[in-house]
Each structure stands twice: as C-alpha cells, then as structure tokens.
Homo-oligomer: A and B are copies of this chain.
Amino acid sequence: MKPTRVVFLVFPNVTQLDLTGPAQVLSRLPNAKVDLVWKSLDPVQTDSGFALLPTGTLDEVTEADILCIPGGFGCVDVMHDDDALAWVWSVGERAQWMTSVCTGSLILGAAGLLEGYRATSHWAWRDYLKLFGAEPVAERVVFDRNRVTGGGVTAGIDFALALTAQIEGEDYARAIQLGLEYDPHPPFDSGTPSKAGEQLVKQVYERSDRMAPDREERVRAAAERLAGR
C-alpha cells in the first residue's frame, strides 16, 4: 500500500501546536508517513521551551502528498529564506494538498503559492495575506481547490479533521475525533477578537510587538521580493 506522505516544515521559533495538533490527526491517515523537515537534523527550538527533531532535511524530503506549513513568530525569517521558500514552492507545486496552519499561510504566500486563492491565517496576521495576492477569509478552515489553510494555532485540529474527511470520508474522520476525545469545552469564551474584547486584543498585539516588533515591515518586504521574482 502506498504511503500517505505528510510533510511538515519546521523552523526555529515555530509554534509547535500548529503542527503537533494536525500531526496527531494526519498520522492516522492510512499508511501515513510523517516527516518534520528543516535544513539539518539538529534539534529545532520551538516557542514552547522544547525542541523538535527533524526527520529529514530539505534536500532529503522533496515530495509530499500533504505539505503542511505551520506558523509562529519564526515565520518572518522563513519568509526571507530563499532555500526554504524554494523548497516550499517545489514540494508544494507537486503535492496533492498544499496546506498551512496559523501564520504558515504567509510562508505559502511568500513562496508564491496563494496568489488568487482564498485563505486564512492567525486573526492578528490575516490581512497580510492580501500582500501576497490572496483573499483573506475570516473562517477557521478555508478550502480553495487544493489549498487548505487553517486559522491560528488550535485551528490546526479542526483543519486536520476537515482534510481527513475530504481524503478518507467523514466516518473515518469522526472515528479519529472520538479517539482523540475532541469534544472541546474551553473554560472561557475568548478565542476570537470579537468574543475576547478590546483589552485582551490589545494584550495580544502588545505581545506580538515584543516578540516580532518588525513583523509588518518584514512581511511587506517578503511581498516585495515575491513581486520582484
């Protein structure tokens, strides 16, 4: 039986749940082979105090059935990394599904893969998608042809179940959902800006300003570089 090659890009300061959530779901696709890919096999530091170990390098893993790009503050560096972008473009172009979670969609965009597509991203970064010719959509999971993009971080679980249903059927996805006891009951209702209110939105933006103060300039510069290619 042919493997289902599920390939995640990893990079320094990745938001690890962007990929570990979907990996828990997509690793249950029939005969799935999961890869975490970066420039070397050295551990890659995440945003959560521990490192992830790549299973292969950009040179080694050159094909995917599902390519999935996670996000995180490190995305602003990946958007300016020619080797990484060339890999994303090349693997993505030949993949059956080109996907992302959170700000990973901006990496897809910077690689030139979202022009003319509807897509989503983390709510605080979603509008930047326009810079790459994509149409930002305020939904948790957005399908447009073979591009599938998820919203911020935890949206990756919803994204992966939706994609699994698309590939293997709804009952297959439902069984995984039951196995993962995915019947979410957040203790609070503050998961979107409109529900959380201005004060908390301000706090999240302030944290972004501390973590990636130059993010807007860098995203704009990545879009200009794409336009010049």
Contacts of A187 in B (CB 8 A): 141, 158, 161-162, 165, 173
Contact of A48 among B34, B177, B207 (CB under 8 A): B34
> How big is the A interface, by class?
35 or more
Contact of A181 among B23, B155, B175 (CB under 8 A): B155
Contacts of A201 in B (CB 8 A): 178
**Provided the pairs A174-B196, A200-B174 are in contact, do residues A184 and B181 lie with their beta carbons within 8 angstroms?**
no
Verify if A62 is at the interface (C-beta below 8 Å from B): no
Whether the pair A50, B43 counts as a contact (CB closer than 8 A) is no
Whether the pair A196, B178 counts as a contact (CB closer than 8 A) is yes
Whether the pair B181, A203 counts as a contact (CB closer than 8 A) is no
A165 to chain B: closest residue by CB: B187
Contacts of A21 in B (CB 8 A): 17, 20-21
Contacts of A32 in B (CB 8 A): 49
Contacts of A191 in B (CB 8 A): 177-178, 180-184
Contacts of A184 in B (CB 8 A): 154, 157-158, 184, 186, 191
A161 to B153, CA, bound (A): 14
- The 22 listed contacts between A and B (C-beta, < 8 Å) are A17-B20, A20-B21, A21-B21, A23-B48, A24-B47, A33-B49, A34-B48, A34-B49, A35-B49, A36-B50, A50-B55, A53-B53, A152-B180, A155-B181, A158-B187, A161-B188, A177-B186, A178-B191, A178-B192, A178-B201, A179-B204, A184-B191
